[in-house]
Homo-oligomer: A and B are copies of this chain.
Amino acid sequence: MGTRRKAATKKTARKKAAPKKAPRTKSTAGKARSKKSARVRKSSAATGVERRIHATDEETIEQITVTARGIHQKIRKGTRPDLSLPVRSLSNVSYDGRRGYLEIGRQKKVRTLSVNTVKNFAQTLKMMALSKDLVSDNDFATKREAYYISKNWDETKFDEQIESDTVMDDIEALFSVNAINREQLRFYPEEHGGSVSGPLVVRDRDATGRVARIDCANFGSGAYSIPASVEDLEFETSADFVLLVETAGMFQRLQSHRFWESSNCILVEMKGVPARAVRRFVRRLADEGQLPVYAFVDCDPYGIANIYRTLKVGSGSSAHINKFFCVPTARFLGVTPQDIVDYELPTHPLKEVDTKRAKDALKNDPFFKSHLPWRKALEQLIQMGVRAEQQALAMWGLNYVIEEYLPAKLAQTDDFLP
């Protein structure tokens, strides 16, 4: 069995309750598995300025250790230990156009060890210990795996994954003040998705340290799929901009007709609201490659107020990490409400939930409230009472989008919505 399990066994052996032993455990401990204590990091000079705003693995381990030591010392002094966590709710979120993302405020909730909080407090510390092991072993756990690992934690095991996810979010918020995000704590989401095509070479190092050179211009009818953690990727590109596409179908069309070649762009498929890895991937391209980013989504309140808004300024519920996981320079190519008129697109009526979403955005969303062109566009959409999908352009011919719509739009990027 590999070092990961040995480490866990050694660690938990000090506690009262030893973990249950796995069945059929053969003696494969000696089996060589190459692991490094921390990934080698290189500054990526390929596309210009290095703008990483996150901690190294060493700093992550250091922060976890400092936090744990603080708690340990309080206990030894006979005082009650506590953890001070940023409040993760919309009431603690603000938007400043100059910073360009939804930002978490200064409100904190203090979790003090007591009879009522002891289980949750212990779970938080166990989860931090797991994170430290993962960084040390250069491994990761999916959110689901982290939940199952706890099944060997006796009384502190989680009953449902929602509980372990919440503790994980708390820990992420705790360490986000030190510019450490969840991927660096080595907790990965299950799904990440997002396909990429275009003049881009990605250099990626896997868990064994081997470096792969991936040419996103050489995938035939397929594409490169963005991995769960993109922090260590290095880029080389000669593209002029990044074009983000909402649907798999539209991506397939642009990709297979090599639109990325004729327009010299990097095509990225969002698959609905883009996952964290997709947002971070594009953000790094935007920062390091100084590339403009344009979004091409359905014209409906979901495409605008969920997909595009989350891409550009992040989301309210994860304001503690928006600093890393959004693309403030993104602009909205279309489909705009005015496009529905100009291109005579086939539409569907807005449902009640759509109209409500649009009205909510106008009334409550700090991003839309601070941009007049967006307020006008949303009001126009509500007034028209219809929505249109990006694939609706197919009414004018399958490749109308490639031959007419996108070239016309890209000739006037200054007109894009903010």
A interface, CB within 8 angstroms of B:
1-2, 4-5, 8, 20, 22-26, 28, 31, 33, 139-142, 144-145, 148-149, 151-152, 188, 190-193, 195, 202-208, 210-214, 218-229, 233, 247-249, 252-253, 256-258, 342-344, 346, 389, 391-400, 402-404, 407-408
> Which residues in B have their C-beta under 8 angstroms from that of A23?
342-344, 396
Q: Which 5 interchain pairs have the tightest Cβ spacing?
A: A204-B220, A22-B396, A5-B397, A212-B220, A142-B249
Q: Given A398-B139, A398-B149: A223 and B220 within 8 A (CB)?
A: no
Q: Which of B204, B223, B392 contacts A148 (CB 8 A)?
A: B392
> Which residues in B have their C-beta under 8 angstroms from that of A225?
195, 222-225
Chain B, Cβ-Cβ closest to A405: B24
Number of copies: 2
Chain B, Cβ-Cβ closest to A217: B212
> Which residues in B have their C-beta under 8 angstroms from that of A257?
33, 207-208
Whole-angstrom distance between the alpha carbons of A161 and B404 in the complex? 25
Indicate if the CB atoms of B220 and A148 lie closer than 8 Å: no
Whole-angstrom distance between the alpha carbons of A396 and B153 in the complex? 11
> Which residues in B have their C-beta under 8 angstroms from that of A221?
204-207, 227-229
What are 8 residue pairs bridging A and B, where the CB atoms are less than 8 Å apart in the complex?
Answer: A22-B395, A22-B400, A24-B342, A151-B392, A191-B248, A204-B222, A206-B220, A221-B227
Whole-angstrom distance between the alpha carbons of A402 and B188 in the complex? 18
Indicate if the CB atoms of B258 and A207 lie closer than 8 Å: yes
Whole-angstrom distance between the alpha carbons of A398 and B139 in the complex? 9
Which residue, of A142, A343, A395, has the highest number of chain B Cβ atoms within 10 A? A395
> Which residues in B have their C-beta under 8 angstroms from that of A394?
141, 144-145, 148-149
Indicate if the CB atoms of A399 and B2 lie closer than 8 Å: yes
> Which residues in B have their C-beta under 8 angstroms from that of A205?
220-221
Q: How far is the CB of A203 from chain B (nearest CB, A)?
A: 8
> Which residues in B have their C-beta under 8 angstroms from that of A389?
144, 148
Indicate if the CB atoms of B227 and A220 lie closer than 8 Å: yes
> Which residues in B have their C-beta under 8 angstroms from that of A404?
1, 22, 24-26, 28
Q: Which of B8, B190, B256, B346 contacts A249 (CB 8 A)?
A: B190
Indicate if the CB atoms of B222 and A24 lie closer than 8 Å: no
Indicate if the CB atoms of A149 and B395 lie closer than 8 Å: yes
Indicate if the CB atoms of A190 and B227 lie closer than 8 Å: no
Indicate if the CB atoms of A5 and B222 lie closer than 8 Å: no
Indicate if the CB atoms of A152 and B395 lie closer than 8 Å: yes
Whole-angstrom distance between the alpha carbons of A400 and B227 in the complex? 22
